[in-house]
Structure 1
Amino acid sequence: MDFKCCKNKTTKEIKNLFCIVCANVFHKSCSERNVFQKLGQHKIICSKTCCEVFEQGKNNQVTLEQLDTKLLEKNEEIALLANLVEKLKHEILQKDIMHEKKEIDNQDVVQKLNIEITDLQNDLKHKDNHIKRLERGSQRFNEEAEEVEEIFNRKIVEFLKTIEDLRLKLPDLESQAKKMIEDAGFTVGKAHCAIEAKPPVQWNKGRASIYILRTAFGVDWSERLRIIYVGDDVTNEDAMMDLKSMAATFRVTSSHIIKISAERRVPSTDSVLTMLKWVERHLSRRKLPIDPGNYRRNSMAKSITSAVQIEMSMQVPGYSSPPLPSKSTNYLGSTVTPVFSLYVF
């Protein structure tokens, strides 16, 4: 043991002093010891430097306690991590076992896949042969198609010549038809790609519409009813002219160049159906009062419903016409095209 107080290292004393800072040992009985501060029976601070270190240690004691607390927390975290590591090891062992089982299963799957690959290769060979046969067949088809195209072009040229001949003959045919209609006492009327034969009476769709409305709803129908008139033909222009300011008139045409007498135009019958559905929804939101004094004879039953549609083909007295088809609720999709359509609301 080395003593800092003297060079005598052989002296053996039971009671020695040691510095709690630098841990140097001093003889208790040595006259050369330099005790700066005595803390107990055997504990001393040997120098001023050790005293400063000791005071600084007191100040840092709180910090050491905090570090000890953090160390304990870290130790707990380490313990938790150790438990997690054990669990992970257990899971890895289980996964290794599962992996071995999957390897065994994969071997079976690989064998099955090899069998399927062999079958697919055989199928591909058959399909390649089939494709080659199709290529040979398509070559023959192309040759036949070229022959058909030549025949088609030749026929088209002949057909166009025939159409041109007919187009040149159309004025003569039109004049002959007009002459035959006028000789029979009828009036010539224009229609869609046709010539109509009208009887020599002062009667048209406008007069017919007003007659129907007056007969069904009375003379004051224009004050009590709202009328929608829809037509898609030139002959409907008479009705649109007569019903102006008394009805909402629509002409079914997709062209904006054609002059019309109607207030508005709609592109197709589908638009007419959309418009009627809108009117139905609009009228279903309100309740119209029923006044028995405003209706004539048996028109009460007709006025109970929110909308009445009248479709009919007018007949001229003295001329026979085929019977009208039975009444159907599918007004717009019917195969029989009405001459005009009145929608009374």
Structure 2
Amino acid sequence: MGKFKCCTNKSHANFFCVICYNVFHTSCMERMQIPQKIGEHTVLCSGECINKYRETNKNTIEKPIMELKISQLLDEIRSLREQMVYTEEEKEKEVTELQQQINNLEISLDDKNKQLKQMKRLSVSFENDVFATEQNYEQKLKDSEELLKDLNKSITSLGQKNS
């Protein structure tokens, strides 16, 4: 209930439209079926006033909602950036570790290739030694066979001389 300026001890139950500033008695407001009461003594008296009120307050109503949404989205973007940086750091670390493993494997491969070449050289040398030893034994065997033939001839000729 509002108070009159001239008679402060009397009160009134009038309503006024916040858009067009028309004033209505309580009974008139009920009789006219005023579309929307928005406060204790404030109304929107027509569809036109309702539309103007919505347009006027659209920014006022939507602005905090939009600011909240923007704030939430900014927080989400910050979080995603932090995750992205963390993920990039993890990937860089993983790439570094994999490069180190590759380097270690390359070094190991080089060592194995050197060992293989050394083993091939030793194998060839061993084969050559075996071949030379085999030829030496074959030559000794031939020499022994010839010596045996000569001895057999000598024995046979001695046997014939003795008879």
- The normalised TM-score by structure 2 is 0.32
Give 1 or 2: higher helix fraction: 2
